[in-house]
Structure 1
Amino acid sequence: MDIVMKLASKKAVVIFSKSSCCMCHAIKTLFYDLGVSPAIYELDEEAKGREMERALQSLGLNPSVPAVFIGGRLVNSTSTIMSLHLCGSLVPMLKEAGAIWL
């Protein structure tokens, strides 16, 4: 758990992902399209990826990816991010975290 929380607080937006996950790809694309440069940790390519995945699951994420942290806070996964974006709340959150300056 410590490694996940430490990594999650290193940058304004942190995404824990898997390289073969289509929903992870969609979330990463959304953030790139919004002008965000997130830190991305591909759990299937990280040495401690399985440990990080178990930590994300212990936070209640199922599936464990994509897991998005904004400003060091877990925002949850795909459905939450998409809902925030559609209702207009995601961009203000990103501005507040210092991820974008629009």
Structure 2
Amino acid sequence: MSSAKVQKIINDNGVVVFSKSKCPYCNETKSTLRSLDTEFQILELDQMKDGSDIQDALQEITKQRTVPNIFINGKHIGGNSDLQKLSTSQLKGLLKEAGAM
């Protein structure tokens, strides 16, 4: 999958988490977002035929190869540790801007 297609997924969704189903950091990210009643798009790369291509495209876009790879309102947040560093009020503000709350 090309970087342009991945960028379109990011642009078309308020909150996107590129994840792997068995990754504990991904699960923590999804749990955090669910606890705030967030609407978000999850792409489980390990369950997708073109998952490694998407991961390659994400590396081109963000310079980050690891998952989770989180975007809110088109802005790259980073990984789980970056999400967890945000205060609840900061995170809620970002999610409201994205129309995900």
TM-score of the superposed pair, with normalisation by structure 1: 0.88
Deviation at 1:62, TM superposition (A): 4.0
Report the equivalent of 1:55.
Answer: 57
Alignment partners' CA distance in 1, 2:65 and 2:5: 19
Alignment partners' CA distance in 2, 1:21 and 1:94: 23
Matched, 1:83 2:93: no
- TM-superposition CA deviations, 1:22-46 (whole Å, max 9, x none): 0000000100110002110000111
Alignment partners' CA distance in 2, 1:48 and 1:85: 34
Percent identity between the aligned chains?
A: 35
Unaligned ranges ≥5, structure 2: none
Report the equivalent of 1:93.
Answer: 94
Deviation at 1:9, TM superposition (A): 1.6
- Paired residue secondary structure (2:92): helix
Across the two proteins, how many residue pairs are aligned to each other?
A: 98
TM-score of the superposed pair, with normalisation by structure 2: 0.89
Alignment partners' CA distance in 1, 2:17 and 2:77: 10
